[in-house]
A and B are shown apart, each in its own frame.
Chain A
Amino acid sequence: MSDKVNLGRRQFLSKTSAAIAGIAIAPGMLLFDFVHARPAGEAASGAVRWGMLIDTTQCESGCNECVTACNKENGLPVAKLPTDVQWIRKVELKQVSTGRQVSLPMMCQHCAEPPCVDVCPTKASFKRADGIVLVDKHRCIGCRYCMMACPYKARSFVHEPVLDHDSDMPRGKGTVESCTLCVNRIDRGELPACVEACAKAGHRAILFGDLNDPNSEIHLRIRSVASSQLRADLGLNPGISFVGL
């Protein structure tokens, strides 16, 4: 199956409409990137690359708002066992020599060269045109190769049957899942749930936006502030970067 989006009229239209929206909105929108809904019937554009910039200096140790919001948005049970599903988790790091502590959220890094996609035998693991790495649960056979291939341990397997389904977020036993960047919210023009929750809690540690858009807040920040990708040495080019690591 080909995931290529044909670069035709559709994309030309989306590019032009994006440009127009960008001009109209740019001066007033500083806090977040403006994410606008793709019109119904239009495919995700390869001109866009969604990503995040996580500012660890703004992330509060002990705060769990992003995780709670993610669970709520995606209908995930609160993880109790190590094998339970986690799309995002809080990690506390401590540098032994200096005692410096850092707190940060960890989730799928939405690599440009995702190893999970390379190893998937059914093409269930795939990268959408706009850079979001997803599991097509309709194709997933639950082999879990992708979980082993992921250097960030970002994926989970659903071990238990799901009983109370959320209409907006179908999920069930026997498939692998991970952070989708809240793909259905992005497609509606909303921010991912964790980003919204973090801002609501007053931290604003997560900046979300289009890395390819030269006028986007995230693009400007990445250009002006030192940031790093996790395990950049692996050459996977994650879509998530960190400040203050």
Chain B
Amino acid sequence: MNPCNVAWMKQREIRDYRISLRGIQATMLILLLAAVPVWAGSSIAPKLDIGKGGQCVDDPKFMRKNHMKMIVHQRDETMRQGIRGGKFSLAGCVDCHASKKDNSVLGSNEHFCQGCHEFAAVKIDCFECHSSKRKVIAEVSK
């Protein structure tokens, strides 16, 4: 149904046709806009407790896709070559992303690392050794 093929239509009819096309586009746009929050809020996407807030060490979109590569790369550099102070530190992730409620990145499907990994069916062993808790420093009372 291409508007060019309906040249035999009377002007009015063509205009009607265009209006209805716009109507369809608008309807679809509204539907899309409405669908995004519905999708994000539904049980399909994990609802994550971001933790302390601030700004992630990189673009969140990039992090979502690449955090595993970045952490593991930095891990090998730190462990084997002694390069310290990089931004993709596991302890750093935990410090920011641990929930403000219990200082942990694990515990439920809302906790940052566990929530998304459960959703994506990923299992990591890092927290068998690494602390999953934010280090609470005594200076807080200062």
- Tell whether B79 is near chain A: CB-to-CB under 8 Å: yes
Pick 26 A–B contacts, CB within 8 A, sort by A.
A3-B80, A5-B81, A38-B82, A41-B85, A43-B81, A43-B83, A44-B81, A128-B80, A128-B81, A130-B82, A134-B79, A136-B79, A137-B129, A138-B75, A161-B128, A162-B128, A165-B130, A165-B131, A167-B91, A167-B130, A167-B135, A168-B135, A170-B131, A175-B129, A187-B82, A187-B84
Report yes or no: B128 in contact with A172, Cβ–Cβ below 8 A.
yes
- Tell whether A40 is near chain B: CB-to-CB under 8 Å: yes
Report yes or no: A170 in contact with B130, Cβ–Cβ below 8 A.
yes
Chain A residues near B128 (CB-CB < 8 A): 161-162, 172-173
Query: Given contacts A165-B129, A170-B130, is CB(A129)–CB(B85) below 8 Å?
Result: no
Residue in B79, B84, B129, B135 whose beta carbon sits within 8 Å of that of A162 in the complex: B129
Chain B residues near A138 (CB-CB < 8 A): 75-76, 79
A130–B76 CA distance with the chains assembled, in angstroms: 16
Interface size class of B (residues with CB under 8 A): 20 to 34
> Among A1, A43, A130, A137, which residue has the most Cβ atoms of chain B within 10 A?
A43
Determine how close the nearest CB of chain B comes to the CB of A124; give it in whole angstroms. Answer: 10
Identity of the chain A residue whose Cβ is nearest the Cβ of B82 in the assembled complex? A44
A243–B129 CA distance with the chains assembled, in angstroms: 37
Chain A positions 165 through 183: 1 when the CB is less than 8 Å from some CB of chain B, otherwise 0: 1111011110100000001
Report yes or no: A167 in contact with B133, Cβ–Cβ below 8 A.
yes
Question: Which residues 65-121 in B have Cβ within 8 Å of A in the complex?
Answer: 75-77, 79-86, 91, 94
Determine how close the nearest CB of chain A comes to the CB of B135; give it in whole angstroms. Answer: 4
A166–B91 CA distance with the chains assembled, in angstroms: 10
Report yes or no: B94 in contact with A167, Cβ–Cβ below 8 A.
yes
Identity of the chain A residue whose Cβ is nearest the Cβ of B127 in the assembled complex? A165
Contact residues of A: prevailing secondary structure: loop
Chain A residues near B75 (CB-CB < 8 A): 138
Chain A residues near B131 (CB-CB < 8 A): 165-167, 170
Determine how close the nearest CB of chain B comes to the CB of A110; give it in whole angstroms. Answer: 14
A115–B126 CA distance with the chains assembled, in angstroms: 28
Report yes or no: B80 in contact with A42, Cβ–Cβ below 8 A.
no
- Tell whether A126 is near chain B: CB-to-CB under 8 Å: yes
Chain A residues near B91 (CB-CB < 8 A): 167-168
A142–B86 CA distance with the chains assembled, in angstroms: 28
Report yes or no: A1 in contact with B80, Cβ–Cβ below 8 A.
yes
Chain A positions 127 through 141: 1 when the CB is less than 8 Å from some CB of chain B, otherwise 0: 011100010111000
Question: Which residues 75-103 in A have Cβ within 8 Å of B in the complex?
Answer: none
Question: Which residues 181-236 in A have Cβ within 8 Å of B in the complex?
Answer: 183-184, 187
Chain A residues near B85 (CB-CB < 8 A): 39-41
A231–B130 CA distance with the chains assembled, in angstroms: 36
Chain A positions 20 through 42: 1 when the CB is less than 8 Å from some CB of chain B, otherwise 0: 00000000000000000011111
A38–B82 CA distance with the chains assembled, in angstroms: 9
Identity of the chain A residue whose Cβ is nearest the Cβ of B90 in the assembled complex? A170
